[in-house]
Structure 1
Amino acid sequence: MSAEEEPLGQLAREFALLGIIAFGGVNTILPEMQRQAVEAHGWMSNTQFTQLFAIAQAAPGPNFMIVTLVGWQVAGILGALTATLALIVPTFALAYAVAGAWRRFSQARWRKALQAGFIPLTVGLVAAGAFVLSTSTLATWQQGLAMASTFLLVMFTRIHPLIPLAVAGVLGYLGVV
């Protein structure tokens, strides 16, 4: 077996590449992370991936905890360390290398245009992540209705997001969804 075929090598390669394109945080790379973990490598099911994401979001700490949990699922403690470091180290090195030029050219036209372009890119990547996570585990029309209702309530009213979350929890507990 080559290093490329071993899970630790695969984790290192995939998360190093993902880290470099994670504009706006880890949520922007969720669709590709899910595709690699579920479809490309078969490390876990859609449901397992979504559950890991839910745990990462519910737990206190950094937003990239999903990376550590995926690594843990794949190869235990070494997988967790490999995935986390593979995401952080190249990203940090790139950010460090670019930071000086980014500051030096703060008034440059090209920088302002590039920065303006990152906004819709980031929003689109986050939306794609939300779509992948929300549709990959829907099993019933009731779940779809709960998801759509929550989205509409949070987007178009001033209702606090914890209210639909609590309602969904109660409906899940009662077996309605």
Structure 2
Amino acid sequence: MSAMLLALFLVFGQLSLMAVGGANAVVPEMLRMVVNEHGWMTAAEFTALFAIAQSAPGPNVLIASLVGWQMASLPGAAISLIGICGPSSILSFYVAKLWQRFRDYRLCHAIQRGFAPLSIGLVLGGAWLLAGIANTGWSAWLLCAISALIAWRTSLHPLWLLGAGAVAGLLGWV
């Protein structure tokens, strides 16, 4: 196995075990490891890959495959995907078996209640970090705030909001 493939597996394997709430929860750490620690790409390149991963249909782990593809083509994409999914899947399997045995204990309920704010905080931290890298200005922040408000207060399908954002970008407003 090449050094790059091993490095990709180790990076995404570590991230897998920290991904409480999904792959988006570890975006700040992923960016730090991929950009700052290993120097595999710039922050702007990482942000562009993240945008592609989020706009494509499918799971949020697509960012791992895109980083792997960028670094080592198809084998890199496959190894990165195995790295981000494998360890947490194995751990989840065994924890679920154990959880069934102790699910009525107060400690289990406390752990479940604690994971919700942890997940939300990790995802918001990633969003804040990526927004800072994008450095788009007040109009993009305004569009984001309006979109969030519309998504929260109405039943409008999110694709309409994405389309409106795309049109605003094409017109040069953001």
Shorter-chain TM-score above 0.5: yes
TM-score w.r.t. the length of structure 1 is 0.86
Task: Give CA deviations for 1:39-96 in whole Å, capped at 9, x if unaligned.
Answer: 2222222222222222222222222111111111111112111111112221122112
State the match for 2:39 in structure 1.
Answer: 42
2:98 counterpart letter in structure 1: A
Deviation at residue 153 of structure 1 after TM alignment: 4.1
2:73 counterpart letter in structure 1: G
Instruction: Tell me whether 1:63 sits opposite 2:60 in the alignment.
Output: yes
Deviation at residue 152 of structure 1 after TM alignment: 4.1
1:26 counterpart letter in structure 2: A
1:150 counterpart letter in structure 2: S
2:132 counterpart letter in structure 1: T
1:158 counterpart letter in structure 2: T
Instruction: Quote the Cα distance in structure 1 between the aligned partners of 2:99 and 2:17.
Output: 16
State the match for 1:54 in structure 2.
Answer: 51
Q: Mark the runs of 5 or more structure 1 residues left unpaired by the alignment.
A: none
TM-score w.r.t. the length of structure 2 is 0.87
2:117 counterpart letter in structure 1: P
Instruction: Quote the Cα distance in structure 2 between the aligned partners of 1:152 and 1:46.
Output: 28
Equivalent positions of 1:155-166 (< 5 A) are 155=152, 157-158=153-154, 160=156, 161-166=158-163
1:70 aligns to what SS in structure 2?
Answer: helix
1:144 to 123, 141, 144: 141
2:169 to 152, 164, 172: 172
2:133 counterpart letter in structure 1: S
Instruction: Quote the Cα distance in structure 2 between the aligned partners of 1:149 and 1:60.
Output: 23
Task: Give CA deviations for 1:97-121 in whole Å, capped at 9, x if unaligned.
Answer: 2121101101011111111111111
- Rate the CA distance shift 1:61–1:165 in 2: closer, same or farther, 3 A: closer
Instruction: Quote the Cα distance in structure 2 between the aligned partners of 1:90 and 1:164.
Output: 35
Instruction: Quote the Cα distance in structure 2 between the aligned partners of 1:53 and 1:64.
Output: 10
User: Percent of counterpart pairs with the same letter?
Assistant: 41
Instruction: Quote the Cα distance in structure 2 between the aligned partners of 1:136 and 1:73.
Output: 20
Q: Mark the runs of 5 or more structure 2 residues left unpaired by the alignment.
A: none
Moved more, 146-155 or 87-96: 146-155
Instruction: Tell me whether 1:33 sits opposite 2:54 in the alignment.
Output: no
Moved over 4 A (4+): none
1:24 counterpart letter in structure 2: G
RMSD after superposition:
2.0
1:133 to 126, 130, 135: 130
- Rate the CA distance shift 1:94–1:71 in 2: closer, same or farther, 3 A: same
User: Comparing both structures, which one devotes a greater share of its residues to helix?
Assistant: 2
